[in-house]
Amino acid sequence: MLPSFDLRFSSTANEACGFLDEDWYLIAGGTEMVPALRIGALTPIGLVDLNSSAEMRVVAKVGSSLEIGALVTHTEVTNSDLVVEHVPVMSKICMHVGNARVRATGTVGGNLCFAEPRSDLSSVLHALGASLILIGPDSERVLSIPEFIVGAFQTSIENREVLQKVKIPLPAEDVNYWKFTFGERPTVGLAWILRENEIHVVIGAATEVPTSYTFVKGEKVDLETWAEELEIESDLAGSAAYKRALIIQKLREIGVGL
């Protein structure tokens, strides 16, 4: 049974800041919020519905960045000509998030703000060096993914702040992405960039927050020992040892430690 809550509607990030009194939360697509309300993980007095915001639904190339509004859905990212042209990896990964209904409803901003560790977007955006634009009542902040996502289901967003958009620097880094999944959410996600002398890797989904590592090409690495340092929990998707083995296997495949 869903709890009762009050409702306010806002069409701009600036206006929404003013509506976010204590125990009020933003709602966008609702794919994360509705289940959270249903299990009682959140007990808001009210929700601020942002869905009428046109400014936050835009994908645009502005200067040397591709900007994706927080309310853009995964399906819209997949189908955006600008995304396909400038950051094709984003189009590809959004095509495989959750299921077709989640993709059509869930938004980029909701995905990031919920900070569910088993997310594809946070790992890939981390590897792309994306910045997040947060609008506050009288100020704006620009945060990187590691500055924004600070724990499982935890972000550094402050009361009355709204994630307005994501900026990906262009030309975009040539990011590859692989995930292992047996349900709706990834068990392990791995984004990587092959550079001339190094391999830059972001590991996500299995870890609480997406975490980056840089390996020097051709340098021997004892990956089994290295992987012991990763903070990974066992859950229904597999034991920690199994997830570590998946990560090690994939790292070897892309040439780490050889």
Partner 1 sequence: MTTSQLITCKINGVGVEAWVKNRSTVAQFLREQLGLTGTKVSCEIQVCGSCTVLVDGSPISSCSVFAYRLQGKSVTTIEGVAERGHLNDVQEAFVNNFAFQCGFCTSGFIMMTMSLLGSSERPTDEEISEHLDGNLCRCTGYEPILAAAKVAVRKRFGDE
| C-alpha of 85 from chain center | 21
Could you say whether residue 43 binds partner 1 (CB under 8 A)? no
- Sheet containing strand 6-9, edge to edge, reads 6-9, 46-49, 24-27
Q: What is the dihedral of CA 172, 141, 75, 8, to 10 degrees?
A: -170
- Where in 57-76 is the site for partner 1 (CB under 8 A)? 75
Neighbours of 106 (CB within 10 A): 23
Nearest to partner 1 of 80, 207 (CB atom): 80
Stretch that binds partner 1, among 44-52, 128-136, 142-150, 190-198 (CB under 8 A): 44-52
- Answer whether the bond into residue 171 is a cis peptide, omega within 30°: yes
Could you say whether residue 211 binds partner 1 (CB under 8 A)? no
Stretch that binds partner 1, among 14-22, 23-31, 202-210, 213-221 (CB under 8 A): 23-31
Could you say whether residue 156 binds partner 1 (CB under 8 A)? no
Among 16, 49, 120, 250, binds partner 1 (CB under 8 A): 49
Q: d(Cα 1, Cα 57) in Å, to the nearest integer?
A: 31
CB 164 within 8 A of CB 26: no
Could you say whether residue 104 binds partner 1 (CB under 8 A)? yes
Nearest to partner 1 of 182, 216 (CB atom): 182
Could you say whether residue 5 binds partner 1 (CB under 8 A)? yes
| Least separation in angstroms between CB 168 and partner 1 | 25
**Contact footprint for partner 1 (CB under 8 A):** 2-7, 27, 30-31, 34-35, 37-38, 46-47, 49, 51, 75, 96, 98-102, 104-105, 183-184
